[in-house]
Chains A and B, each alone.
Chain A
Amino acid sequence: MSVTATKFYQVGSFAIGNRLLPADQASIQADAERTNALTSGHRACQGCGEALGARYALDAAMRAADGKVIAVNATGCLEVFSTPYPESSWRIAWLHSLFGNAPAVATGISAALRAKGRTDIRVVGQGGDGATVDIGFGTLSGMFERNDDVLYICYDNEAYMNTGVQRSAATPPAARTSTTQAVGTDPGNVFGQGKNLPRIAMAHEIPYVATATVADLRDLEAKVTRAMQLRGARYLHVLVPCPLGWGSASCDTVRIARLATQSGLFPVFEAEKGEVTSSTKIRKQVGVEEYLKLQARYAHLFAPTRREDVIAQLQASADRNIARYGLLEPESNPEVN
């Protein structure tokens, strides 16, 4: 028998906490005293991935900045469901201006704090994929190129969900939205368009770019913590499944995010100054179909006729991610699932 480390807590590091873990090894979310940046009573749909991702990220930012965080929110689901007048779910300093200007507002706050000598207060900008990759893209790119001291977090649910599931530049190929209906010979969103914002951010050679999902809390927390250790423009792209827009069961939000990573469709990695520095390896590889079939937005790929060609195209893009980011361990054996 090989030597076995006995410091083994039933679920290793994959669960959020464990009663046997010392506090310094538990995740921030396992702490009963976590900030709860986004608290109960918000009006997000059942099983909202964005509400979950925002709390994960901001609680970690609050921990890293010792509670001194100002968040600037773009228009979108997150803003609408958290602050219907006169209620607010935010337990942190939080500000909303317009759909397209969150990065610019964050830049302004950062500059004001610097002028006041309050660099201990950290600024987080946040928005959905619409605000980030489409409407606010110009101000975000400016924030990047000036290297303003802001951590910008995009909660990517791959369409404009709040206004009725319209396509964004982050909507994946073949997905059905209200503006890319599943009709015609090439149903759903087209292939070959859209923006890969993490790579665009890397092209700005900013200090830190990372991707994460709500399926791997510890990874997400580590990336927020890392980003908060750095100064300058930082970008975190978090995949947050949307039960409403994706047509998935509300209980499957985390599972779908996990399948996105385990299929390779959503690569989880981090990059510094334009270079990929690490990627999170696939633990139990699955084909893209495992991910697609849980979502009604891809139902047209399976009925009335099965679109092998489209599924193969999606699998090819997953395989490209796996090769590009080195998502499989060299010694990993697909049979050991």
Chain B
Amino acid sequence: MEKPFAITLDVDSSLANHTGSWRVERPKYVNLMPPCNNACPAGENVQNWLYIAEDGSYEQAWRALIVENPFPAIMGRVCYHPCESVCSRGTLDESVGINSVERFLGDLAIEKGWKITQPEERSGFRVLIIGAGPTGLSAAYHLRRLGHDVTVRDAAMQAGGMMRFGIPKYRLPREVLDAEIARIVEMGVHIQLGARVDNVQEAIDDNFDAVFLAVGAQIGKRAYIPAGAAARILDAVNVLHDVEDGQAPLLGRKVVVYGGGNTAIDVARTAKRLGADESMIVYRRTREKAPANDGEIQEAIEEGVVIKWLSTVKHADEGVLKIEKMALDADGFPQPTGEFEDLEADSLVLALGQEVDLSLISNFPDLEVRDGVVQVDSSMMTGRAGVFAGGDMVPAERTVTTGVGHGKKAARNIDAWLRHSVVDKREKPAVVQYEDLNPWYYSDAPHAVRPRLEGARRASNFDEVVKGLDESTALYEARRCMSCGNCFECDNCFGVCPDNAIIKLGPGKGFEINLDYCKGCGICVTECPSGSILMIPEKS
């Protein structure tokens, strides 16, 4: 070839040299399981909806979120966010405020009136769901999306279950609850209220193809406490239910709540709001051992609730309780010490856990009940084909989020069972560890704190305690996400390749490796902030 004067080598002539043949390992873009997604009881793809929200595409982010969970505004208030406990950013500075961004998206959806897309397909199957709590409503939502005709029956006159009758409205305002339930009704789910199901068999015979039991656990556990005739002893579940019905019980000036779970905290805080001068929790173990969420405990203390750890109630009488001090033994169990004291109390509220009302299945064969809960297999199906169960009435952690997750899982399995197919179970990718990340590239950015009402001010009314984030703060918080195990297009791989072997495909499209030239050095893997590239051996 003729070349211009003094030019001896053609531009791009080195491209003839395919250095990819040197390689023994190749980099591969992967999508790994971020710790947050892995920890979410409702199976949300947290990293994904944060990623979408990061450029301000809030509606798309919300739509991605509700693929897994129809209640972002509720979740953003009542979920104990196990995602944040495992967030990688927590190791770097502070966890991403996932819950607060979720609430922001949920509230924005209500404000803007975003609707759930109507299912196009009609399967022709009819499914009955018993219980309109988080589990039942979640199942109804997912089954409806899958094209089924869904009927939900509940004994109460309002839907929501424990979200309405268990969680006080200072934590979950009813407008929010109503709005998110209304969206499900708009999808064409039939909710029948005041429709207690006493006999499951009769309900099934009403021409349903499958049944999902989700009645929850709403009978307060009783403990035998010797008591005088005039002692006022109430049950926590009933107290919260009556408050919701506008029939707050008389608790008196000094209220003692017995128990260490979230219900105990809710009742103690509610008692304060009903006007009690003193609201005290008595619990036999320590704060560390208490099942209640620590954030809730903290909020209760801020509101003036007094907590007496390592104490049991031995005797109740009119206006006075006898308390025994406990001590933890070597195994961490509380043991009586024989030390007693008297405590003034106008009423004692028992919050010792809840049991499942099993009366509706009392004469229903094939269902196995163990430890007071219904046993189900890995597809959430009971011993009776076509009858599924979930939520608090099966063995599980009893939280709203777990219930929502059960509802989704049951819905997918009910769908598969009805269609004689199997649930598409993709192999779960490996969970990202902090060591897989390259935190150098993340600049320091502390967590944005949600504003809260002052403890003293909030304890006197039922106004919502924790406020939401405004748009700019929510955006900031979303952008703190480190995108563990999933590419967020930071261009590092494209930049650091000494061989120009990364092809940038453009916004939203990610990158490709040009294997003709990639020598397999692995710099892109080391310098990937989010651990989204792995080296894999070449086939020999």
Alpha-carbon distance A19/B521, docked complex (angstroms): 25
Q: Which residue of B lies closest to A41 (CB)?
A: B14
Per-residue CB contact flags for chain B residues 481-504 toward chain A (1 = under 8 Å, else 0) read: 111000011111011111111001
Query: What is the number of residues of chain A that contact chain B, defined by CB distance less than 8 Å?
Result: 56
The answer to whether B14 touches A19, judged by C-beta atoms less than 8 angstroms apart, is no
Alpha-carbon distance A41/B501, docked complex (angstroms): 9
Alpha-carbon distance A1/B516, docked complex (angstroms): 51
A323 within 8 A of B: no
The answer to whether B11 touches A88, judged by C-beta atoms less than 8 angstroms apart, is yes
Contacts of B497 in A (CB 8 A): 52
Alpha-carbon distance A14/B496, docked complex (angstroms): 13
Q: Could you tell me which residues of chain A, from 1 to 59, have a CB within 8 Å of some CB in chain B? A: 1, 4, 6, 8-20, 26-27, 29-30, 32, 36, 38-44, 46-49, 51-52, 55
Given contacts A30-B494, A40-B500, A47-B521, contact A15 B441 (CB under 8 A): yes
Contacts of B514 in A (CB 8 A): 40
Query: Interface with A: B59-67, B385-393, B524-532, which one?
Result: B524-532
The answer to whether A10 touches B490, judged by C-beta atoms less than 8 angstroms apart, is yes
Q: Could you tell me which residues of chain B, from 212 to 233, have a CB within 8 Å of some CB in chain A? A: none
Given contacts A8-B479, A11-B529, contact A17 B490 (CB under 8 A): yes
The answer to whether A15 touches B14, judged by C-beta atoms less than 8 angstroms apart, is no
A249 within 8 A of B: yes
Query: Interface with A: B270-278, B414-422, B469-477, which one?
Result: B469-477
Contacts of B523 in A (CB 8 A): 47, 52, 250-254
A236 to chain B, nearest CB (A): 18
For chain B, the bracket of interface size reads 35 or more
Q: Which residue of A lies closest to B472 (CB)?
A: A6
The answer to whether B498 touches A44, judged by C-beta atoms less than 8 angstroms apart, is yes
The answer to whether B498 touches A16, judged by C-beta atoms less than 8 angstroms apart, is no
Alpha-carbon distance A284/B527, docked complex (angstroms): 16
Alpha-carbon distance A8/B96, docked complex (angstroms): 14
Contacts of A88 in B (CB 8 A): 9-11, 13-14
A255 within 8 A of B: yes
Q: Which of A15, A49, A251 contacts B491 (CB 8 A)?
A: A15
Given contacts A6-B476, A251-B526, A254-B523, contact A16 B492 (CB under 8 A): yes
B448 within 8 A of A: yes
Alpha-carbon distance A78/B21, docked complex (angstroms): 21
The answer to whether A51 touches B17, judged by C-beta atoms less than 8 angstroms apart, is no
The answer to whether A18 touches B491, judged by C-beta atoms less than 8 angstroms apart, is yes
The answer to whether B473 touches A42, judged by C-beta atoms less than 8 angstroms apart, is no
Given contacts A46-B519, A87-B13, contact A17 B440 (CB under 8 A): no
Given contacts A17-B494, A87-B14, contact A8 B489 (CB under 8 A): no
Q: Which of B17, B19, B476, B508 contacts A19 (CB 8 A)?
A: B508
Alpha-carbon distance A87/B14, docked complex (angstroms): 5
Alpha-carbon distance A12/B514, docked complex (angstroms): 28
A99 to chain B, nearest CB (A): 19
A82 within 8 A of B: yes
Q: Which residue of B lies closest to A90 (CB)?
A: B11
A60 to chain B, nearest CB (A): 12
The answer to whether A19 touches B489, judged by C-beta atoms less than 8 angstroms apart, is yes
Contacts of B441 in A (CB 8 A): 11, 14-15
A24 to chain B, nearest CB (A): 15
Given contacts A6-B475, A30-B495, A39-B12, contact A254 B527 (CB under 8 A): yes
The answer to whether A251 touches B479, judged by C-beta atoms less than 8 angstroms apart, is no
Q: Which residue of A lies closest to B518 (CB)?
A: A40
The answer to whether A10 touches B488, judged by C-beta atoms less than 8 angstroms apart, is yes
Q: Could you tell me which residues of chain A, from 82 to 126, have a CB within 8 Å of some CB in chain B? A: 82-83, 85-91
B347 to chain A, nearest CB (A): 40
B55 within 8 A of A: yes
Contacts of B11 in A (CB 8 A): 88, 90-91
A97 to chain B, nearest CB (A): 12
The answer to whether B508 touches A1, judged by C-beta atoms less than 8 angstroms apart, is no
Alpha-carbon distance A254/B528, docked complex (angstroms): 11
The answer to whether B490 touches A11, judged by C-beta atoms less than 8 angstroms apart, is yes
Q: Which residue of A lies closest to B500 (CB)?
A: A40
Alpha-carbon distance A90/B19, docked complex (angstroms): 16
The answer to whether A82 touches B14, judged by C-beta atoms less than 8 angstroms apart, is yes
The answer to whether B443 touches A47, judged by C-beta atoms less than 8 angstroms apart, is no
B333 within 8 A of A: no
Alpha-carbon distance A212/B494, docked complex (angstroms): 20
A258 within 8 A of B: yes
Per-residue CB contact flags for chain B residues 429-455 toward chain A (1 = under 8 Å, else 0) read: 000000000001111011011000000
Given contacts A6-B473, A88-B13, contact A29 B494 (CB under 8 A): yes
Given contacts A10-B488, A86-B13, contact A40 B504 (CB under 8 A): no
The answer to whether A10 touches B14, judged by C-beta atoms less than 8 angstroms apart, is no
B96 to chain A, nearest CB (A): 11
Contacts of B440 in A (CB 8 A): 14, 258, 284
The answer to whether B491 touches A17, judged by C-beta atoms less than 8 angstroms apart, is yes
A62 within 8 A of B: no
Q: Which residue of A lies closest to B481 (CB)?
A: A10
Alpha-carbon distance A284/B92, docked complex (angstroms): 12
B517 within 8 A of A: yes
The answer to whether B498 touches A48, judged by C-beta atoms less than 8 angstroms apart, is yes
Q: Which of B15, B55, B526 contacts A41 (CB 8 A)?
A: B15
The answer to whether A19 touches B522, judged by C-beta atoms less than 8 angstroms apart, is no
The answer to whether B491 touches A30, judged by C-beta atoms less than 8 angstroms apart, is yes
Alpha-carbon distance A243/B520, docked complex (angstroms): 13
Given contacts A11-B441, A251-B521, contact A39 B9 (CB under 8 A): no
The answer to whether B516 touches A40, judged by C-beta atoms less than 8 angstroms apart, is yes
Q: Which residue of A lies closest to B20 (CB)?
A: A40
A217 within 8 A of B: yes
Q: List 5 A-B contacts (CB under 8 A).
A: A4-B473, A6-B472, A15-B492, A40-B514, A253-B498
Known: A4-B473, A47-B523. 16 other contacts (CB 8 A): A4-B445, A13-B443, A16-B494, A20-B54, A20-B479, A29-B494, A38-B500, A39-B15, A41-B14, A41-B19, A51-B498, A86-B9, A243-B521, A250-B521, A254-B527, A284-B440
Chain B contact residues, CB within 8 Å of chain A: 8-19, 22, 54-55, 440-443, 445-446, 448-449, 472-473, 475-476, 479-483, 488-492, 494-501, 504, 506-508, 514, 516-517, 519-523, 525-527, 529, 535
**A-B pairs with the 6 shortest C-beta distances?**
A12-B443, A251-B522, A17-B491, A41-B14, A16-B495, A47-B521
